[in-house]
């Protein structure tokens, strides 16, 4: 039985003060957060403040990116050691905005995945097809390539611990979510690829989220799919109320 996991990706939103007030407004529902793992990924500038505010609530903290070196002359970058130092458990890697707006390729993402594990951070590895790729019928091929490229030479026990987020690019921030049955089909295929590459046990253990216009109204349907273990939430994670409703919906949907 895989534990559901809901992660908030705040992207480039919220000042320190806004991050703190979100954390105060989020109900201290520790029994819910024991059943559904909850991760908040604020911008780097608010990580420490939000982390302090969330202490004792049973909610985990994540970074939105890292640079694959411990330290050094990399102006403007943030290292895995720095994220670990602030108490992060997770780090989002390979998000489509970084792949498409900033040109990140699988090889570079693979270096980041390795750097994350080296500092005990669990990657939330994002992948997904563009609308054009989908229309060409290339969804599964694109996702397999991204998965294999980003996870090259990663050990089975590490794959079992991490999280994959299947996020069709056309569904991110558009209000148009994938049909749950379509997301389920792609995610089931990803699970098969993982089973083939790292073994059945790993394929059965790894948690795979859906992401792209997830809201309180649609989370239950995604969570009722056998292979979908949670969601990576952008827009609807910015308000404590809607995010809390998504976490509650995730519990109900997975029951
Ligand atoms: P969205 O973003 O929920 O606003 O579509 C999801 C994501 O980018 O992770």
Ligand 1 mean position to 213 CA, how many Å?
6
Q: List the one residue out of 69, 64, 60 whose CA is nearest residue 94.
A: 64
Half-sphere exposure of 205 (CA within 13 A, CB side): 12
Q: Which domains does the chain have, with CATH numbers?
A: 5-254 (3.20.20.70)
> Other CB atoms closer than 10 Å to residue 59's CB: what's the count?
23
Token code pair at residue 170: 């056309």
Query: Which of 168, 218, 233 gets mutated to test ligand 1 (max ligand atoms within 8 A of its CB)?
Result: 233
Ligand 1 mean position to 199 CA, how many Å?
30
Whole-angstrom Cα distance, residue 112 to residue 74? 14
Nearest CA to ligand 1 atom 1: 234
Whole-angstrom Cα distance, residue 253 to residue 255? 6
> Other CB atoms closer than 10 Å to residue 24's CB: what's the count?
11
Ligand 1 mean position to 10 CA, how many Å?
9
> Cα–Cα distances in Å, from 248 out to 26, 45, 128?
12, 28, 26
The 8-class DSSP code of residue 178 comes to P
- φ, ψ (nearest 5 deg) of residue 228: -95, 120
Ligand 1 mean position to 8 CA, how many Å?
9
How much is the pLDDT for 154? 98
Which residues are catalytically annotated?
Answer: 95, 167
How much is the pLDDT for 1? 84
Whole-angstrom Cα distance, residue 40 to residue 90? 9
pLDDT tens string for the chain (255 positions)? Answer: 899 999 999 999 999 999 999 999 999 999 999 999 999 999 999 999 999 999 999 999 999 999 999 999 999 999 999 999 999 999 999 999 999 999 999 999 999 999 999 999 999 999 999 999 999 999 999 999 999 999 999 999 999 999 999 999 999 999 999 999 999 999 999 999 999 999 999 999 999 999 999 999 999 999 999 999 999 999 999 999 999 999 999 999 998
How much is the pLDDT for 255? 86
The residues lining ligand 1, judged by C-beta closer than 6 Å to any ligand atom, are: 9, 167, 172-173, 211-214, 232-236
How much is the pLDDT for 234? 98
Whole-angstrom Cα distance, residue 173 to residue 238? 12
Whole-angstrom Cα distance, residue 79 to residue 137? 37
Atom of ligand 1 nearest to the CA of 96: 8
Q: List the one residue out of 245, 244, 235, 252 whose CA is nearest residue 57.
A: 244
Across 29-160, where does the E strand assignment appear?
Answer: 37-41, 60-63, 90-93, 122-127
């Amino acid at each position: 039985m895989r534990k559901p996991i809901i992660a908030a990706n705040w992207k480039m939103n919220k000042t320190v003060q806004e991050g703190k007030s979100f954390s105060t407004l989020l109900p201290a529902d520790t029994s819910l957060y024991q059943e559904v793992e909850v991760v908040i990924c604020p911008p780097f500038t608010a990580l420490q403040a939000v982390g302090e505010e969330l202490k004792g609530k049973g909610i985990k903290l994540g970074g939105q990116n890292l640079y694959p070196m411990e330290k050094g002359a990399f102006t403007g970058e943030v290292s895995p050691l720095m994220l670990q130092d602030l108490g992060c458990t997770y780090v989002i890697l390979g998000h489509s905005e970084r792949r498409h707006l900033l040109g990140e390729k699988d090889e570079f993402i693979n270096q980041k995945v390795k750097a994350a594990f080296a500092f005990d951070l669990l990657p939330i590895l994002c992948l997904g097809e563009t609308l054009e790729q989908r229309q060409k019928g290339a969804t599964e091929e694109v996702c397999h390539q991204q998965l294999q490229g980003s996870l090259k030479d990663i050990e089975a026990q590490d794959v079992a611990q991490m999280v994959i987020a299947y996020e069709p690019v056309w569904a991110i921030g558009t209000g148009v979510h994938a049909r749950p049955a379509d997301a389920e089909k792609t995610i089931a295929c990803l699970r098969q690829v993982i089973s083939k590459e790292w073994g059945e046990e790993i394929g059965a253990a790894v948690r795979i989220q859906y992401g792209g216009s997830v809201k309180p109204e649609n989370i239950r349907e995604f969570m009722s799919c056998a292979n979908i273990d949670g969601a990576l939430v952008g827009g609807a994670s910015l308000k404590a109320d809607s995010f809390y409703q998504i976490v509650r919906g995730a519990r109900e949907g997975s029951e």
